[in-house]
Amino acid sequence: MEVSAQISELEQINDWKAEVESARDAIRSMRSQLEQAVLRTTDEDDRVQIEHFQNQFIRQMEVADEMHHDLRQSAKKINGKLPVLHDDRPVDNLETLNDRMHTFRKLYSELQKEFGEFIAFS
């Protein structure tokens, strides 16, 4: 692989890692907001929604953690420091990582919107 292509790929991966880290921070913040909502509500429908968001935050954080790990592994692979790859989540294919980031962004954005609407009306 050409050195300039490696640098470009590393820059892309680092941008994605920063984006994922920002999402992780935002999820932590949303969890704090949710904890405050728990204290304010006695409505059963709200409690069902709260449980829904708790589950969504757990799952979204798991996906973010996997993405962050895989992006780190990909950077190591590009730098020639990683000979072994995940069979179930290839980290040496930038197009695959790009597709996963697209999906991650979409699901994260939907969660943010849905949670924002819940907080606004609770």
- When pLDDT is averaged across residues 70-97 and rounded to a whole number, the result is 75
For residue 78, which amino acid is it?
Answer: I
Q: What mean pLDDT, rounded, does the chain reach?
A: 89
Whole-number pLDDT of residue 3: 61
**Structure confidence at residue 7 (pLDDT):** 77
pLDDT computed for residue 39 by the predictor? 92
**For the chain, how many structural domains are there in total?**
1
Residue-wise pLDDT tens digits, 3-39:
676 778 899 999 999 999 999 999 999 999 999 999 9
| 77 or 43, higher pLDDT | 43
Range of the domain at 51: 3-121
Closest of 32, 34, 10, 14 to residue 22, by C-alpha = 14
pTM of the model: 0.85
120 Cβ neighbours under 8 A, 6+ residues apart: none
Band the pLDDT of 88: cuts 50, 70, 90.
Answer: low
What whole-number distance in Å separates Cα of residue 112 and Cα of residue 88? 28
Instruction: Specify the DSSP class assigned to residue 79.
Output: T
pLDDT at residue number 77: 81
